[in-house]
Amino acid sequence: MVYGHSDPGRSHIIEPVTLKILVAGGFGAGKTTLVGAVSEIKPLRTEELLTEAGRPVDNIAGVEGKKTTTVAMDFGRITLREDLVLYLFGTPGQDRFWFLWDELATGALGAVVLADTRRLEDCFAAVDYFERRGIAFTVAVNCFEGADNYPEESVREALDLDPGTPVVMCDARERESVKRVLISVVEHAMLATAATS
Residue 100 lies in a domain: yes
Mean pLDDT of the chain: 81
| Backbone φ and ψ of 55, nearest 5° | -55, -40
Count structural domains, the chain.
Answer: 1
Residue 128 lies in a domain: yes
Residue 9 lies in a domain: no
Please, how many CA atoms are within 13 Å of residue 4, restricted to the half-sphere of its CB?
1
End-to-end CA distance of the chain: 31
Residue 7 lies in a domain: no
| pLDDT value of position 74 | 87
CATH assignment at residue 84: 3.40.50.300
| pLDDT value of position 168 | 96
Q: Indicate the pairing of strand 110-115 with strand 68-81.
A: unpaired
| pLDDT value of position 64 | 56
Helix/strand/coil percent split, the chain, to 5: 35, 25, 40
Q: Which amino acid is at 73?
A: M
User: Over 90: is that where the pLDDT of 194 sits?
Assistant: no
Environment class of residue 50 by beta-carbon count within 10 Å: exposed (0-12), middle (13-18) or buried (19+)?
middle
| pLDDT value of position 100 | 73
pTM for this model (two decimals): 0.77
Residue 11 lies in a domain: no
Residue 1 lies in a domain: no
Encode pLDDT of 121-169 as tens digits. Answer: 999 999 999 999 999 999 999 998 777 788 999 999 999 999 999 999 9
Provide mean pLDDT across the span 32-47: 82
Q: Residue 170: pLDDT band by 50, 70, 90 thresholds?
A: very high
User: Over 70: is that where the pLDDT of 26 sits?
Assistant: yes
Range of the domain at 73: 17-196
Residue 4 lies in a domain: no
Residue 8 lies in a domain: no
| pLDDT value of position 58 | 54
